[in-house]
Amino acid sequence: MNHWLLIVVAASANVALNLCLKKGGQALNVSTPWTIAQSVLTSGWMWLGVLSAGLLLTAFVSAIRLYSLSLTYTAVTALAMVMLTAISVLLQQESVNAARVAGLALIIAGLVVTAVSGSTS
């Protein structure tokens, strides 16, 4: 399997994990440690997060077997940051300003430079 496909799968699973943890965390009963544990164990969002974490781990480990750890980790993290921001703007009504867009553009540019330099060495 192509390592870039595995990287996209890992980044997507990372985004799903974070979104599930946010949704699950919003519904937690945090009055006592016992109720926190109960809330976590009975939350569908938390269980979807666990499944997403399993997919993330599987895709990431498969990708680092095919390609360097430094590029794979950078790519998964950068793609997840960009995708999570875009989804948060669309689904969570988070705001985005010019500085944030510039930061995301720099992340993408950094990923491109890292990927190109990694493939030529």
Question: 3 in helix, strand or coil?
Answer: helix
Residue 120 pLDDT > 60: no
Task: Return the CA Rg of the chain.
Answer: 17
CB 7 within 8 A of CB 72: yes
In the structure encoding, which two tokens stand for residue 1, read together? Answer: 């399997």
Q: Tens digit of pLDDT for each residue in 11-36?
A: 999 999 999 999 998 888 888 999 88
CB 76 within 8 A of CB 11: yes
Long-range contacts of 115-121 (CB under 8 A, 24+ apart): 115/71, 115/75, 118/67, 118/68, 118/70, 118/71
Residue 37 pLDDT > 80: yes
**Per-residue pLDDT at 73:** 92
Q: Tens digit of pLDDT for each residue in 59-97?
A: 999 999 988 898 899 999 999 999 999 998 898 888 889
Q: In the predicted model, what is the mean pLDDT of residues 39-60?
A: 94
**Per-residue pLDDT at 121:** 47
**Per-residue pLDDT at 93:** 86
